[in-house]
Amino acid sequence: MASVVVFEQRKSIHKSISENQSRFSPQSQTTVYIPKKESSIEFAHLWNKAVDQAFGPLIKVLGSRGW
């Protein structure tokens, strides 16, 4: 069950990254520069959000049992 959730979250992350890349591709009429640091921060935020959504319920259960 958890592997399905992780897979869906990873798919969502990859989709959002590809949408952002296509939005800022050289083929577009306006070119917007995104510093690498901001891109990595955005990716880290998306990754943390996916991990929280995937493992949040498990962490709550373990926490309620004193782990």
> What is the pTM assigned to this prediction?
0.38
Q: DSSP string spanning 33-58?
A: ---HHHHHHHHHHHHHHHHHHHHHHH
Closest CA to 19 of 8, 6, 28, 29: 28
Closest CA to 24 of 42, 10, 6: 42
Report pLDDT for 32: 60
pLDDT tens sequence across 3-50: 777 778 888 887 877 776 666 555 545 566 555 666 778 888 888 889
User: What residues does each domain of the chain span?
Assistant: 2-64
Report pLDDT for 8: 82
Q: Please say if the pLDDT value at position 61 is more than 60.
A: yes
